[in-house]
Structure 1
Amino acid sequence: MFSCIFISSLLLIAKFVLTFMHVNISKCFYKITEDFHHEGDVVIGAFFPLHTYYTKNKIPHSYLPYYYKDNYLQYNFKNYQYILALVFAIEEINDNPNLLPNISLGFDFYNVRFIEKDTLMNVCFWLTGQGQKNILPNYNCGKSNFATALTGTAWTTSAQIGTLLQLFKFPQLSFGPYDSILSDRGQYSSLYQMASKYTSISLGIVSLMVHFRWSWVGLILPDNHKGNKILSEFREDMERKGVCIAFVKMIPMTWNAYYNKFWENMDETNVIIIYGDIDSLTGLMRNIGQRLLTAKVWIMNTEPHITDYADYFMLDSFHGSLIFTHNYRKSFKISNFIQTVNPYKYPEDIYLPKLWHLFFKCSFSDVDCRLLANCQPNASLDVLPSHILDMVISEESNNIYNAVYAVAHSLHQMHLQEVQIKPHENGEAIAFFPWQLNIFLKDINERDNMSFGGRQKLNAEYDILNLWNLPKGLGQKVKIGSFSANAPEGQQLSLSEQMIQWAEGFSEMWINVSSVQRVIIQIQRRTTVYRKL
C-alpha cells in the first residue's frame, strides 16, 4: 500500500516541479483585494484568514503609522477549503426546493489578517455597505439583507468581531474550536459556537500512551486559558493511568520571545504531545518543521499548516506523527463539487486565478488580472498536493458547512412564522432584521442530538491519523485507528499497528524509560533547584 502511494506521489512530484520551473510569477499574483461577493436574496458575511502580510526587518513606513515598507504578502491556500465548504453548502441549499423556496443565499467574503484594526475595519465596511469608501457608523448605505456573520478560526478573532456585532445584537456563528470565553452570554449574547464543547481527547491520547507503554512524555500547550484547562485534564488522566510528565512547555503567542528557551530539556523524551489550535501554535510548528527533527513522535490534535516541507524523503520533522481528529458520523461529500470549481465558473473569486496561475501554468491577461490564458487542460483543485489544499474535510470546514445550514433552517422557520401571521404576495422578498434570527439560533448548542441540516453530534469519537511524509511535501494522512469514549472499557481504542509509519530513528526501547532513569532525572532537577536557591 505504501509503495503504491509512493509511486503515484513521485509522478505528481514531476508534474509540479515542471510547473514551478515554467511559471514566472506575474505581478497580478501579488495584486489582492480584501473581499469578494456572491449575490443572493439573503447574504452571509464570511470572515476567513486566507492571506496575510508580514515584515522581516520592520522598516517603518514614511507616512503611514503602524505600517512597514518591507511588507510581504503570504497566502494560506490550505484555508481555501473554508470557501469551498461555504459555496458548496450555499449551492446545496439554493438547489433544495424544500428549504428556503424562492429565496437564494449569497455571501460577502472578507479576509482576516490577525490585526485587530484591519479586522474591525472590514466588519465596518460590511455592515455599512460602503466597501472601501467612507464609513458612516450606524447607517447601511447599500443592501440591507444581511443574515449573520461566520467568524474564525481563532477565538480572538471571533471575540474582536463579536464585541462590535454585539452592539447591534447581530448574530454571529464561530466555526473555530470551542472556547469557554465565547460562551459568556453576558458578553456575547448573539454569538453561537458550532464546535462541540464536549471533548475526551486527553483520555484518548493517554489511552494511546498506555497502549504503547509510553510512560514518560512531554506536553506542549498554548499559554492561555485553554492551555491551562487541558493541562489539568491531562494531569488527571495521566495520573490515573500511570503516565508521567517529563516536562510541560506553555507557548506564548509571541513565539520569538520564547524561541531560545523552548529547546531546553527537549531530549528527555521522544514522545511529545502538542495540543492547541493552529493559530496559537503557528510559530512553534514552523520552527519544528524547519529544524528537520527525527526520532521523535508528535501526538497532536491538529495538523501543522506548513507549506515549506523538507524535500528529503522520510526526513520531515512531522513524519510519523499521530493526529487525533473528530470523527463525523456523516460528513458532507465535496469531492465531486471540487472537481467542477474553476476561475471561469466563479469569476468573482479572487483566489482561484492565483491558484491556476501558480499550479497550472496559466498566464494573466494584461487587461484584467482575473482573465487567464494558456492553462493546462483538465486543471482541477483535486490534483493539488495536500500541503497546498487538502481534500480531507477539516473540522473547521465541517463547522462552516453546518453553520450555513443552521442559518438556512433558522431563516426557513422565521419565514414560515411570518407567512402564518401575514401571507406574502408572490415574488415578495423576505424582509427582516438580523437580530430577529437570534430566537431561532439561541439553542443551537443544545441541538447536538438532532440532525440539523448537516449538523451531527460528535459523540466523543476520534479518528487517529498517521502522517506520512513524501518528497516535496506530498504527504498522506492515513487512518490507523480510532477512539470512542462511549465504548466499553478496554474497547475504546482501536489500532492497526501494522499500518503505522514511525519517525526515522524512532525506537520504542528508548521511549520506555525505566523508573530508575526517571528517578535520576528528578534528582538532577531538584539539585538544580537547590543550587538556584
Structure 2
Amino acid sequence: MASKDTSLALGMVSLMLHFSWTWVGLVITEGPKGLQFLSDVRAEMDKNRVCVAFVKMISNAATSYYLNQQKHYFIIKETFPANVVIIYYDAESINDMQHNVGLHLVTWKVWVTNSQWHADLTGNNFIFDSFHGTLIFSNHHEISGFKKFIQTVNPSSYPEDIFLQQLWYWHFHCSLSDSGCVLENCIPNASLAQLPVNRFDPAISDASYNIYNAVYSVAHALHEMLLQQVQKQPMGDGEAVVLSPWQLHTFLKNIQFNNPAGDQVTLDKKVKLDAKYDILNYWNFPEGLRLYVKVGEFSPHVANKQLTLSEEMIQWATAITETPNSVCTESCHPGLRKSPQEGKVSCCFDCIPCSENEITNDTDMEQCVKCPDHQYANSQRNHCLQKSVTFLAYEDPLGEGLASTALSFTLLTAAVLGLFVKHRDTPIVKANNRALSYTLLISLTCCFLCSLLFIGRPTTATCILQQTSFGIVFTVAVSTVLAKTITVVLAFKVTAPGRKMRQLLVSGAPNSIIPICSLIQLTLCGVWMGTNPPYIDTDAHSEHGHILIVCNKGSLTAFYCVLGYLGSLALVSFTVAFLARNLPDTFNEAKFLTFSMLVFCSVWVTFLPVYHSTKGKVMVAMEVFSILASSAGLLGCIFVPKCYIILIRPDKNSLHGFRDKTHSGRKKP
C-alpha cells in the first residue's frame, strides 16, 4: 500500500544540488528496499557529480543491538569530513539508530532522512539535540475529518482502546480507580488537540495512512466483487450469495480509485504514480520542542521546478549558524583549475593556478582557457583584458633618451666637421687625408640620424629605410676607415721613388675602396629588397598586455648577410690598423683607427647575443643603442685626439711644431 518511492532518491539528490553538497554520507538499513534505494541514490549522485563519502549498512536484527551500538559509534567517528548524511531506514531499526546517534551528540551533522523520527527521547534532557535541523522527506497526507476526530475522541468513546487510556493517563493527570480499570479525576473536557505538538503530533503517520488506504482498497474490492456476483445471479431464486476468500485477490489486484483525500490508490506498480514529498524541518531546540515545520516540497510531476524550498525558514543543526557546506575539497575559484587527486573520487581535487595568459572565469573549471592574441589575462587570471597597441615612441622615456642621444651626437659630429673644414689647411688635417676625414664625418652623421628611423610608429617606408640605410651608411663609414688605414700603411711603407705603390698612393687609389665596398653592400640590400623586404608586423607575446608594432626583417638570411659583410669589412679594417699601429710619425692615426675598430667590433659582437635574448621594445632599443655606441666609438677614438690638438694644443698643429716632432722622432732610432 505504500506510495511508489522511486523518486525519493531524485528528490534527495536535488536537495544536495540546491545547497551544493557534493560530499555526502549514506546510512542504509539492510533489506530489499534499502538496497534498492542505495542503487537509486548512487545512480542519481553519479549522474549529478555528487560523491559518496561513505556507505554504512545497518542490520535490522533485534539481537544485534550491541553490535549496532558499536557500529553506529564507528560511523560517527569515521565520517567526520562529511557534514551531510542521508539516512534511509525501515521503522524496525530506527529506534536503536536514533538512540546511539543522539547519545554521542553529533551536533555538527545535517541529517537528511525519509521519514519522521519515531523514538521518544523524553527524559534524556540533552541541552543540544543531535537531530535538531534534520530535513525529512515525508509523504503528503491529509484526510478529511481526521482533525475533527482527534479533537473529539476520548476514552469514553472507545472504552476498549487501551492506547487512548494510556494517553489520557500520561497527559491529563488522571488517576486509576480502585479496580485499576477506570480513569478518574481527569482534566475536564480534555482533548488531544490541546496537547502541544512536541507531546502529540495530530498529523497522520505514513503507516496509518497506508492502513487507511488498505481498508478502503478492501472495501472497494468487496464492493466490486459483490456487484459482479449480484449481476450474475438470476433474479428471484432466493439463494444467498456465497463468496470464497481467494476470489478477492483478483479484484484487489486490479483495483484503482481515489480515496477521500483525493489521492489515487492502486496496487498495480505500473500504474502507481511517484509520491510527492513534503520537506519538513525538525525543530528541537531547546530539547523537547519537537516541531515539524514544512519548508518545501518535491514533486516529480513538475517539469521545470520539481524542488521548491524556503531557505529562510530552515533551522540548521545546533552549532551551525549559516548554511552548512559539505564538500571534499572547497571549490576552485576563478583563476584556478581543478586537478584530480590520484586514487580519489572526482569531488576530491587540487586547485592549481592557470598558466600565463590563461584564465578560468567560473568556479570548478577543469581546464583553463587561453586568451586570444589580442587580449591578455589579468593578475587574478579570471578575465581577459584588451591589449593596448605600443611601439618605441618618442614619448616613451626610453625612446626620448635614445632620440636625444642621437641628435646630440649628430650635432657633435657636425661641429667636428665644421672644425675640420675651418682648419683644413693645418698640418694635422692635411696629414690625415682631409677628404677621407670629411667622408667619415658625414657618414657618421648619417649613422646617428639613421637610428631615428627605429623610433616612432613603424611604417612600410621606415621599415625598409631602417635596414638599407643602416647597412649602406655603416659600410661607407667602415670602408672609409679601411681607406684611411691603407693610406697610412702606403705612406710609411712605400718610400722609394718611382715604385708602383707610390703611384697608387699619389693617385688616391685607396679612396676607391669606399665606392667598391659600398656598391657590394648596396647590391646585397637590393637583392634583399627585391626578394623578401622588411614589412610591418605585430608581436602580441613579447610584452605582457601589449601588442607591439614592429618591423619584421623579412628575409633573415639577407639581414645576416648584410651584417656579416659589414662585420667582415670591420675585421679587415681592424687587422690592417693593428699592423700599422706602431709606425712613427707625429700625426700617425693608425693607433686611433685600431682602437676605433676594436670598439666597433666589440659593440657588434656583443649586440648579436643580447639582441636575440631580448623582446619587444627593448630589442629595438638594443639595436638603436648598438648603432649609437659603435658610431660614437668611431667618432671618439678617431677625432677626439685631433680636436684636442686643434683646440687645446694649437702649438703642435703648425709646420714648425710638425718638423720638430718629426726630427725628434727620427733621432730615437
| Cα separation, 1, equivalents of 2:197 and 2:341 | 44
| Cα separation, 2, equivalents of 1:521 and 1:354 | 58
Task: Tell me which amino acid in the other structure corresponds to 1:302.
Answer: S
Aligned counterpart for 2:25 among listed residues 215, 218, 221: 218
Q: What secondary structure, in the 3-state scheme, does the structure 2 residue paired with 1:351 have?
A: helix
Matches within 5 A, 1:73-472: 194-253=1-60, 254-262=64-72, 263=74, 264-309=77-122, 315-328=128-141, 331-367=143-179, 369-386=180-197, 388-422=199-233, 432-444=243-255, 447=256, 450-452=257-259, 454=261, 456-457=263-264, 459-471=274-286
Which residue does the alignment assign to 1:504? 318
Task: Tell me which amino acid in the other structure corresponds to 1:439.
Answer: T
With over 3 angstroms needed to count, the CA separation of the structure-2 counterparts of 1:503 and 1:207, relative to structure 1, is same
Question: How far off its partner does 1:434 sit?
Answer: 2.7
Q: CA offsets, 1:116-150, max 9 Å, x none?
A: xxxxxxxxxxxxxxxxxxxxxxxxxxxxxxxxxxx
With over 3 angstroms needed to count, the CA separation of the structure-2 counterparts of 1:510 and 1:500, relative to structure 1, is closer
| Cα separation, 2, equivalents of 1:215 and 1:310 | 36
Give the number of the structure whose alpha-carbon radius of gyration is greater. Answer: 2
With over 3 angstroms needed to count, the CA separation of the structure-2 counterparts of 1:429 and 1:387, relative to structure 1, is farther
Task: Flag as ranges the 4+ runs of structure 1 deviating above 6 A.
Answer: 427-430
Matches within 5 A, 1:509-524: 510-514=325-329, 519=341, 522=344
Q: CA offsets, 1:64-90, max 9 Å, x none?
A: xxxxxxxxxxxxxxxxxxxxxxxxxxx
Question: How far off its partner does 1:291 sit?
Answer: 2.6
Question: How far off its partner does 1:234 sit?
Answer: 1.3
Considering only aligned residues, what root-mean-square deviation do their CA atoms show, in Å? 3.1
| Cα separation, 2, equivalents of 1:290 and 1:351 | 28
Q: CA offsets, 1:414-459, max 9 Å, x none?
A: 332333344899x999864432322221224xx3xx4255572354
Q: Decide which moves more: 459-468 or 432-441.
A: 432-441
With over 3 angstroms needed to count, the CA separation of the structure-2 counterparts of 1:516 and 1:204, relative to structure 1, is closer
With over 3 angstroms needed to count, the CA separation of the structure-2 counterparts of 1:290 and 1:512, relative to structure 1, is same
Which residue does the alignment assign to 1:478? 293
| Cα separation, 1, equivalents of 2:239 and 2:184 | 42
Question: How far off its partner does 1:521 sit?
Answer: 10
Q: CA offsets, 1:362-415, max 9 Å, x none?
A: 122223x33221111121122334455321112221111111111222222233
Bigger relative contact order (CA 8 A; separation at least 6) = 1
Q: Give me the identity figure in percent.
A: 46
TM-score (norm 1): 0.55
| Cα separation, 2, equivalents of 1:292 and 1:423 | 71
- Where is the helix percentage greater, Structure 1 or Structure 2? 2
Question: How far off its partner does 1:515 sit?
Answer: 5.6
With over 3 angstroms needed to count, the CA separation of the structure-2 counterparts of 1:301 and 1:428, relative to structure 1, is farther
Q: CA offsets, 1:157-192, max 9 Å, x none?
A: xxxxxxxxxxxxxxxxxxxxxxxxxxxxxxxxxxxx
With over 3 angstroms needed to count, the CA separation of the structure-2 counterparts of 1:470 and 1:379, relative to structure 1, is farther
Native 8 Å contact 2:174 2:185 kept in 1: yes
Task: Tell me which amino acid in the other structure corresponds to 1:214.
Answer: W
The size of the alignment, in residue pairs, is: 323
Question: How far off its partner does 1:474 sit?
Answer: 3.0
| Cα separation, 2, equivalents of 1:411 and 1:432 | 10
With over 3 angstroms needed to count, the CA separation of the structure-2 counterparts of 1:363 and 1:514, relative to structure 1, is same
Q: CA offsets, 1:95-132, max 9 Å, x none?
A: xxxxxxxxxxxxxxxxxxxxxxxxxxxxxxxxxxxxxx
Task: Tell me which amino acid in the other structure corresponds to 1:504.
Answer: T
Q: Which stretches in structure 1 are left out of the alignment for 5+ residues?
A: 1-193, 527-533
Task: Tell me which amino acid in the other structure corresponds to 1:379.
Answer: A
Task: Tell me which amino acid in the other structure corresponds to 2:183.
Answer: L
Q: What secondary structure, in the 3-state scheme, does the structure 2 residue paired with 1:219 have?
A: strand
Task: Tell me which amino acid in the other structure corresponds to 2:71.
Answer: K
